Amino acid sequence: MKKTAAKGKPRQGREENLVKEVKEEVKIKKEVKANEFKIDPEEMLRAGLHFGHRTSRAHPKMAPFLYGVRNNVHIIDLVKTCEKFKEALKFIKELISENKILLLVGTKIQVKNLLKNVAEECGLPYVNERWLGGTFTNFEIIKKRVEYFKDLEKKKKEGELEKYTKKERLKIDEELRKLKIKFEGIKKMEKLPDAILVLDMIKDALAVKEAREKGIKVIGICDTNVDPTPADYLIPANDDAIVSVKYILEKVAEVIKKAKQKTRNKKQETKI
């Protein structure tokens, strides 16, 4: 576990000292600051993207992205995070500009609502509950279940379920509730996505595995305890702190909105 005051992280005072130390020692390149995505390592620092896990939990393949160690906690090199994050954002920009599908995946309790809000705001499909095995590898079967869910929703909305007894309607409502939890985020996804953005590569390892099997590109936040190999586009960063994940999602949302707006503008110009 990461160090917290109550659950393994550094106490607030020690954490503040750590931030000061890193701020002094991390040499932020000016050219990194000047980029189209407005990524600023100092903002990342304030958001805590640099905090890794305890050194005992480090994955050897994350070594190239580490800056050092403070109080037995690995510190992520934010200059390298900037470089990799820019690569990921550039890919996302191209993906959205080409009207391709990006699926957001984040099932950890602390980020579920955040992920859902960003996905709905950007008009993206998402999975924020337990990943259902076969979502990609048995997509046609999953799609049939989604169609059943949508049909049941439609019948309820149009009052077609009123003909059933109260007991039967309660049973249908319970079934709808369960289907909504499973499929609400992907009910508009008519085909497999072209890429997925995974907020925790370990928690949602099955989603990553299925994506690799189906040739779907993987964009993943990689903390210091993660094997970054399965990610086509990795973002070396703290994947536990809400403020860290929020920073990343906000940047992703910003890029998606701009790309969609640019596409709409081009369509309007073509009509004129």
Please write the tens of the pLDDT for every residue from 206-243. 999 999 999 999 999 999 999 999 999 999 999 999 99
For the chain, percent of residues with pLDDT exceeding 90: 76
Q: Which of 26-30, 184-188, 205-209, 221-225 has the lowest mean pLDDT?
A: 26-30
Both tokens of residue 229?
Answer: 């190999």
| The predicted structure's pLDDT at residue 19 | 55
Residue type (1 letter), 196:
I
pTM of the model: 0.86
Query: Which pLDDT band holds residue 268 (cuts at 50, 70, 90)?
Result: confident
Cβ-contact 104, 196 below 8 angstroms: yes
15 Cα distance to chain centroid: 26
Cβ-proximal residues to 237 (8 Å cutoff; 6+ apart), any chain: 44, 49, 50, 76, 81, 85, 221, 222, 223, 244, 248
Parallel, antiparallel, or unpaired: how do β-strands 217-222 and 73-76 relate? unpaired
Cβ-contact 29, 47 below 8 angstroms: no
Q: CA-to-CA distance for 23 and 32, rounded, in angstroms?
A: 16
Tokens 């955040």 sit on residue: 114
Cβ-contact 209, 133 below 8 angstroms: no
For the stretch 144-162, pLDDT in tens is 999 999 999 999 999 998 8
Say how many CA atoms lie within 13 Å of 4 toward its Cβ.
7
- Provide mean pLDDT across the span 113-132: 96
| The predicted structure's pLDDT at residue 14 | 56
Q: CA-to-CA distance for 68 and 83, rounded, in angstroms?
A: 18
- Provide mean pLDDT across the span 6-18: 51
Q: CA-to-CA distance for 214 and 119, rounded, in angstroms?
A: 22
Q: If DSSP codes are grouped into helix, strand and coil, which group holds residue 123?
A: coil
Which of 80, 70, 62 minimizes the C-alpha distance to 201? Answer: 62
